[in-house]
Amino acid sequence: MTSTWWKPLALLVCLAGPAAAQQVKLPPGAIRWSANRPLTVADFKGRPRANQGHAALTSANINTGATCRNNIFAGTAQASFDPATSWVREPATMTPALLRHEQLHFDIAEVYARRLRQQLGAMHTACDQLGSTFDRISQKAYADWQQAEDTYDRDTNHGLLHERQAQWEAQVRQQLLDLAAFAEKDA
């Protein structure tokens, strides 16, 4: 069985008002990443198209938000899963290994959301001097995330190479621990 990764990227930016940027409004039905809430087979509600040959597809996003308060920039990023565009070809036969592979796609999105939160938290930029800095940092994070997702599927042959899959699981688990200071407080 094979699986594939996420699409699309989401960028929600609102540079205005005094509201805090700490909570991003997710698209309707999206599941916010949480260490306490792993994906289940039932979360995959989409349907594959006839030309999609993989066993499953995880549609994860990194949603970003930004505000200005007293001319000081504040930004955040949040990983989410879109059940409507995520699918499993044969839900009744989804193996635990395939579900772990798909979960790791979501976990990788969280790693890159944490890295982006780390970078955004260090910006301390006046809004009137922000220029394209937020966009540049966000787009770099998205590009790095996409490259990691592509490498993950290639290295694991979409989860079929069990030893490589286990290595990726350990690596991503360690990255989440290393970036724990940038986890959302209630995630």
Please give the Cα distance from 81 to 6 (Å, whole number): 9
- Which of 53-57, 68-72, 100-104 is least confident? 68-72
Residues 100-124 pLDDT 10s: 999 999 999 999 999 999 999 998 8
Task: Read off the pLDDT of each residue in 50-64 and give the average, rounded to a whole number.
Answer: 91
Phi-psi region of 131 (alpha: psi -120 to 50; beta: other; left: phi over 0): left
Please give the Cα distance from 5 to 101 (Å, whole number): 9
pLDDT at 4 over 80: no
- Average pLDDT of the chain, as a whole number: 86
Higher pLDDT, 148 or 66: 148
Helix axes 133-156, 96-121, angle to 10 degrees: 160
Torsion sign across C-alpha atoms 46, 158, 142, 41: positive
Residues 140-151 pLDDT 10s: 999 999 999 999
Task: Read off the pLDDT of each residue in 37-58 and give the average, rounded to a whole number.
Answer: 92
Task: Read off the pLDDT of each residue in 76-98 and give the average, rounded to a whole number.
Answer: 94
Grade residue 134 by pLDDT with cuts at 50, 70 and 90. Answer: confident
The DSSP H or E segment spanning 151 is helix 133-156
pLDDT at 49 over 60: yes
Please give the Cα distance from 51 to 59 (Å, whole number): 17
